Structure 1
Amino acid sequence: MATIAITGSTDGIGRAAARRLLAGGHTVVVHARSEARGAPVAEELSRLGTVRLVTGDLADLDQVRSLAGQVGDLDVLVHNAGVWPADGAPPSRQGHELAFAVNALAPHLLTTLLDERVRGRLVFLGSGMVGSGRVDPDDLGSPRPPSRAYADSKALDVVLALAWARRLPHLRVGAVDPGWVRTKLASPGAPGDVEDGGERVALAAAGEWAGGYTAGRSRARTPRALEDPALQDRVLAAMDRLAGVTA
């Protein structure tokens, strides 16, 4: 059985994935922004199996670094946490647009800090909005409207998944589209529910999953521009700089 960390696992898709993985006998490292938010969920999930709680606000790179120190060795790291900021939402602690900071920059930094402690898989979350997102390595984290910010951050997550797959060839790396499901980030008219999304994430974490960009057991459509290794390398370099990563 595997030890699997899932960011943003106190609610929605992450919590549903945690339940499925615990039912399968895996150990789950549950992540929350704070102890107060995470402790009740961790206590509930612990009735299903072995759970460990870690905390840290992904909108603050200093707290991401602290979070990395809490996680320990893993078989799988799932970057599930995500935000769709409201109009006028403040920037991250370091001054970046919030969706970029939480959905992309924090996962990049956390991966950098944990890459030698992850033994098996690295999973990012995509979205049906990936196709409408834009990735410009020279303009990452600047202010933009919420829907554009979210779409751009999800396209960036797919680029990061493909880039990290090249940087860490010994791991199985990719992204999963959880589908259009009813969460706090989706409209009430979404056809799926969090259990559907949780099933897809759990499959990528511990099922028959080849990596790449998938939607459940099928390949998801990846915009051709995001598959460009030159773009991926430029994104990695820009993200390293913004995350304060030094060689």
Structure 2
Amino acid sequence: MDDTGWTGGPLLGFDTETTGVDVHTDRIVTAAVVVRTPRTTEVLTWMIDPGVEIPAEAAAIHGVSTEHARAHGRPPREALEEIAAVLARHAREGVPVVAYNAAFDLTLLDAELARHGLPTLPDRLGRPVAPVLDPLVIDRWQDRFRRGKRRLGDLCELYGITGEGDLHSADVDVLATLDVLEAQVLRFPDLRAVALDALHLAQRDAHQAWAENFNAWRALQGLPGPGASTAWPVEPRAAG
């Protein structure tokens, strides 16, 4: 990545694998934090015993069964404190958090921290988590009219990114996410000239516009369910 502007500084990648897709009630099973500079990559990983059964459908995706998590996983309160401390330490220094579909991982992490009586990331920072770089939001914003799906694997294929290991392992996903961001900066070079705070706000607005359009389309189709949240990079805390 060209080491001018924000692209020359460190990036803080984050990803989780979980018991399900409800950011307010599901639990983290594995997590990875990757600190990448133009010259170094530091990978930290955690496996957690979430204290609940891991559904077979979730285990089939990330490969961690209830039995395996109980045998090899860390106590959740202990591991969550470590994860949050690492993220907060770098975020205080202004290092951007990079996460694919950031609203999922950051919202889920805050819910988990609150569940275990620990300060959330905003509590630790004394402010909302920012700046955040989300390659999914950037893809929808910068390549709005491209057809096809926009999962992490789809963008890896689009940009010709290959790496060691299979996706749906938290550390592999973080490294792939950082590689996708690098490829996006090469394809959309104007991004590197945007200040991080402005880029954060632009993504927030782009996500809101996408969600509103998506929900309007769902309504026209008569599809049930709540649709997409307009909030980014963190969804509001669930009532109760």
Structure number with the bigger relative contact order (C-alpha 8 A, sep ≥ 6) is 2
TM-score for both structures, normalised by structure 2: 0.34
Higher strand share: 1
TM-score for both structures, normalised by structure 1: 0.34
